[in-house]
């Protein structure tokens, strides 16, 4: 079932359902025809169509991938080609396949008039100038699921290795010793595994742990309770609840500023004594100094790490502990994963050259120029609304209703809903979220969106409203664009009307509507040398509850936010950094 349900509404009197669940029960109406969002590149020059398309395999991939391509295309395998040669010869090719060593810079891309697709046999595309490729209508595709089995199996391997001291016992025997009593371990059966981050790899780890008769507890605020239940896993709302229960903890979070040091000093304080840690996700998510201190104190009994903040980790304090098992970033290093990456990317390149759907494209899908001209100004707004509603929510959100009103309701809003998913999920899942995969990731996590359209709107030419429910009840955010430059505006927040232009740094306050609150916020910001650029206040009645939205010139430190939250007049304050 798709994460999107489209219901077109034209009558003003007919109310939108309060929950997406209600929309599911209603009779389905035929959705307006949607433009195909295939990753279809513009037609290339006649040279590209004169014969069979030409593919350059610049770095080694599985032979099965090369064979697949040769069935339809002329393939050159040129592993010895340097960057200068690439720049000279790329004009001959319609597609190129690379790994991590080749740099597809703007200079190289601009020298490729016939290129339709760049295939990256792996996950990251840091070595590709995606913006330059997108500008030229070139598809950039990767193989994001090629290593998920390998990473999950490596996680289980490290779990077993540290619980039974296998590497230490191996090293001892290699030195001619026989120390059976020294390397006694613990069993995994009937123990509790805490999985922090429940994306594709986290799910695979949980399934394997259940097979080992472990109890699995997982934390991921962007996965629905129903999804946890389907997989036989206990989902928790707060990571602290996981810390209190888990005998073993494995981390599967994306690397971002928000997750750097996620498992740190304060987290270790909340864990059970004797807990064991595994990190096969990204270096830096586990604070290595804090982990070393926890190992030294005995709070943590052991750890197993495949990734480090700095690689190779020559100066890591963890290397001095006998209770720490380490591997040199081997999570994806299996024959099968490498072969799979090559085969997957060959399939993606073939699809692109045949003008078919490219499921792993990382750059924006194309729609008609006419439709893009209409929806483009609203894309940043929808991303911001997605980020805004999830940041201000009290608890997990599962179902959303997006209402498009006014002139925007006449457009194909497919990309706008995808933009909402992107803002909702970006930086919160282990995958890089883009306009191609955002809807699929949302669907995997049990997130549902119902779309409604109304041609009438009372106050704006176009209005986009998002509703959901958190612990406090109905939660609403809304926005529009203003003027010939379509400057975005937030016009609804929590359960109140506001009017403020989004900024990079924003704070949102809920408080008692009593005299002096605006001055109190201003005074606190001024005392900490934080300049307020804009402010707007909304309320429903005198003396009730009010909301304040402010944009700032720099971030508010967490200590100041805690100071505000501690004051009885404030219900809450949320600080958000928008990309």
- Dump pLDDT digits (tens) for 139-154: 899 998 888 999 999 9
Tell me the pLDDT tens digit for each residue of 304-356.
Answer: 999 999 889 988 899 999 999 999 999 888 999 988 999 999 999 999 898 77
Overall pTM > 0.75: no
The top-scoring range by mean pLDDT among 38-42, 340-344, 469-473 is: 340-344
Chain centroid to CA 333 = 23
What is the overall mean pLDDT for the chain?
87
- Active-site annotation holds for 266: no
**2 versus 148: which is more confidently predicted?**
148
Q: What is the DSSP string of 121-165?
A: SSS--TTB-HHHHHHTT-EEE--TTTTHHHHHHHHHHHHHHHHTT
Chain centroid to CA 427 = 4
Chain centroid to CA 30 = 31
| Closest to 13 measured CA to CA, from 497, 407, 454 | 454
Q: What is d(CA 241, CA 232) in angstroms, rounded to the nearest whole number? A: 17
Q: What is d(CA 548, CA 546) in angstroms, rounded to the nearest whole number? A: 7
Q: Check if 51-145+332-363 and 147-174+187-326 are the same fold.
A: yes
- Active-site annotation holds for 563: no
Q: What is d(CA 563, CA 510) in angstroms, rounded to the nearest whole number? A: 14
Greatest distance between any 2 Cα atoms in the chain: 84
Among 72, 311, 410, 474, the active-site one is 311
Q: Where are the alpha helices (DSSP H) in 33-146?
A: 46-49, 63-70, 83-89, 106-110, 130-135
The beta strands (E) that lie in 248-309 are given as 248-251, 275-279, 300-305
Q: What is d(CA 397, CA 408) in angstroms, rounded to the nearest whole number? A: 25
Q: What is d(CA 491, CA 494) in angstroms, rounded to the nearest whole number? A: 10
Q: What single DSSP character describes residue 356?
A: -
Q: Residue 256: its pLDDT value, please?
A: 80
Q: What single DSSP character describes residue 182?
A: G
| Closest to 408 measured CA to CA, from 437, 441, 375, 436 | 375
Q: Residue 54: its pLDDT value, please?
A: 97
Q: What is d(CA 475, CA 397) in angstroms, rounded to the nearest whole number? A: 10
Q: What is the dihedral of CA 241, 220, 124, 437, to 10 degrees?
A: 180
| Contact indicator for 505, 569 with CB cutoff of 8 Å | no
State yes or no: pLDDT of 17 exceeds 60. Answer: no
Quick one: 51-145+332-363 is in which CATH superfamily?
NAD(P)-binding Rossmann-like Domain (3.40.50.720)
Among 44, 70, 103, 329, the active-site one is 329
Cβ atoms within 10 Å of 560's Cβ, excluding its own: 18
**The length of the chain, given as a count of residues:** 579
**Kind of pairing between the strands at 462-470 and 473-482:** antiparallel
The pair of structure tokens assigned to 185 is: 């371990």
State yes or no: pLDDT of 383 exceeds 70. Answer: yes
Q: What is the mean pLDDT of residues 258-283?
A: 94
CATH 3.90.180.10 fits 147-174+187-326, yes or no: no
Q: Which CATH class is domain 503-578?
A: alpha beta
Domain positions in the chain are: 51-145+332-363, 147-174+187-326, 364-498, 503-578
Containing 56, the helix (H) or strand (E) segment is strand 54-57
Among 200, 276, 282, 454, the active-site one is 282
Q: Residue 361: its pLDDT value, please?
A: 85
Q: What is d(CA 259, CA 45) in angstroms, rounded to the nearest whole number? A: 45
Q: What is d(CA 148, CA 208) in angstroms, rounded to the nearest whole number? A: 13
Chain centroid to CA 371 = 27
- Active-site annotation holds for 329: yes
- Return the CATH number of the domain spanning residue range 364-498: 3.30.1330.90
- Strand-pairing partners, residue 452, are 7, 403
């Amino acid at each position: 079932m798709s994460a999107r349900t489209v219901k077109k509404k034209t009558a003003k009197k007919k109310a939108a359902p309060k929950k997406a669940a209600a929309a599911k029960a209603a009779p389905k109406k035929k959705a307006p025809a949607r433009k195909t969002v295939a990753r279809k590149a513009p037609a290339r020059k006649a040279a590209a169509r004169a014969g069979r398309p030409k593919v350059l395999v610049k770095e080694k991939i599985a032979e099965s991938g090369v064979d697949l391509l040769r069935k339809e295309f002329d393939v050159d395998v040129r592993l010895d080609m340097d960057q200068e040669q690439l720049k000279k010869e790329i004009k001959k090719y319609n597609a190129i396949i690379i790994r991590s060593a080749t740099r597809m810079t703007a200079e190289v891309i601009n020298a490729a008039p016939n290129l339709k697709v760049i295939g990256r046999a792996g996950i990251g595309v840091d070595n590709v100038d995606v913006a330059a490729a997108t500008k030229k209508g070139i598809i950039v595709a990767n193989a994001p699921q090629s290593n998920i089995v390998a990473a999950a199996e490596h996680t289980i391997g490290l779990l077993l290795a540290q619980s039974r001291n296998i590497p230490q016992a191996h090293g001892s025997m290699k030195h001619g010793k026989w120390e059976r009593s020294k390397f006694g371990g613990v069993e995994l059966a009937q123990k509790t595994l805490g999985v922090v981050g429940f994306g594709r790899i986290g799910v695979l780890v949980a399934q394997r742990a259940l097979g080992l008769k472990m109890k699995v507890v997982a934390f991921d605020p962007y996965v629905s309770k129903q999804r946890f239940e389907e997989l036989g896993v206990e989902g928790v709302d707060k990571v602290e609840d996981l810390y209190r229960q888990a005998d073993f903890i494995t981390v599967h979070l994306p690397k971002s500023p928000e997750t750097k040091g996620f498992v740190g000093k304060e987290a270790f304080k909340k864990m059970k004594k004797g807990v064991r840690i595994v990190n096969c996700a990204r270096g830096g998510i586990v604070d290595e100094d804090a982990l070393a201190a926890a190992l030294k104190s005995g709070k943590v009994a052991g750890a197993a790490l495949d990734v480090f903040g700095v690689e190779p980790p020559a100066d890591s304090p963890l290397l001095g502990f006998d209770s720490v098992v380490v591997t040199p970033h081997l999570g994806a290093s299996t024959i099968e994963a490498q072969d799979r990456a090559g085969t997957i990317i060959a399939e993606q390149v073939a699809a692109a050259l045949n003008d078919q759907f490219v499921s792993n494209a990382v750059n924006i899908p194309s729609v008609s120029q006419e439709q893009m001209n209409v929806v483009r100004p609203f894309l940043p707004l929808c991303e911001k609304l997605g980020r805004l509603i999830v940041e201000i929510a009290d608890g997990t959100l599962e179902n959303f209703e997006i209402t498009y009103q006014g002139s925007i309701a006449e457009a194909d809003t497919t990309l706008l809903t995808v933009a909402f998913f992107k803002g909702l999920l970006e930086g919160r899942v282990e995958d890089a979220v883009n306009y191609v995969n955002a809807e699929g990731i949302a669907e995997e996590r049990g997130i549902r969106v119902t779309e409604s359209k109304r041609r009438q709107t009372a106050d704006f030419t176009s209005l986009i409203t998002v509703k959901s429910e958190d612990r406090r009840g109905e939660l609403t955010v809304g926005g529009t664009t203003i003027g010939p430059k379509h400057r975005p505006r937030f016009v609804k927040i929590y359960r109140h009307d506001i009017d403020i232009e989004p900024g990079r740094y924003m704070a949102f306050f809920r408080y008692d509507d009593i005299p002096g609150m605006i001055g109190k916020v201003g005074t606190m910001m001024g005392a900490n040398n934080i300049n307020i650029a804009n402010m707007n206040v909304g309320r429903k009645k005198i003396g009730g509850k009010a909301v304040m939205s402010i944009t700032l010139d720099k971030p508010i430190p967490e200590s100041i936010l805690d100071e505000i939250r501690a004051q009885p007049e404030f219900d809450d304050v949320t600080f958000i950094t928008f990309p």
